[in-house]
Amino acid sequence: MTALALVGAFSAVVAAQVPPDRAIKYRQSSLATMGFHFFGILAPMAKGDRPYDAKVAARSAKFVAELSEMPWHDGFPPGSESGAPTKAKPEIWKDRAKFDKLAETMQGEAAKLAQVAGTDLATMRTQVQATAKACTNCHDEFRAK
């Protein structure tokens, strides 16, 4: 068994052992922190509501990209559709392939944002919009209002 396969098998076992309320809190915390950097720093810069600072933009975009990887693997295990207050719709577990595809798309847009955020405002603005659209696509399908 390769090291990667061992890690994958171990992750699956660990995720299955996480109580639903802990998984819900984990994903909510990851998404809230990502939202802080995206909606609290990057989007206001893109809109002109906050001065553009290339270093701050690059750092926040890097965090968004890294955080975009976190909740999907361990934060949505089977059984975590309830157990604590959550806006996650049951459709996540009914159509996991579609949910995972939307997550991958968002992660790809977040990675692109990390590549351009510190380069110039116009480029970052375009990628902020693309990343926001990827987030909205998933929320429209899988997040209760």
Q: Establish if 11 belongs to a structural domain.
A: no
Q: Establish if 113 belongs to a structural domain.
A: yes
Q: Establish if 94 belongs to a structural domain.
A: yes
At residue 8, the pLDDT reads 46
CB-based contacts of 21, cutoff 8 Å, min separation 6: 83, 84
**Total count of domains within the chain:** 1
At residue 95, the pLDDT reads 96
In DSSP terms, which residues pair with 11 in a beta bridge? none
Owning domain of residue 51: 19-142
Across the chain, mean pLDDT equals 90
The tens digit of pLDDT for each residue in 113-138 reads 999 999 999 999 999 999 999 999 99
CATH number of the domain to which 46 belongs: 1.20.120.10
Q: Establish if 135 belongs to a structural domain.
A: yes
Q: Establish if 58 belongs to a structural domain.
A: yes
At residue 16, the pLDDT reads 56
CA within 13 Å, CB half, 105: 16
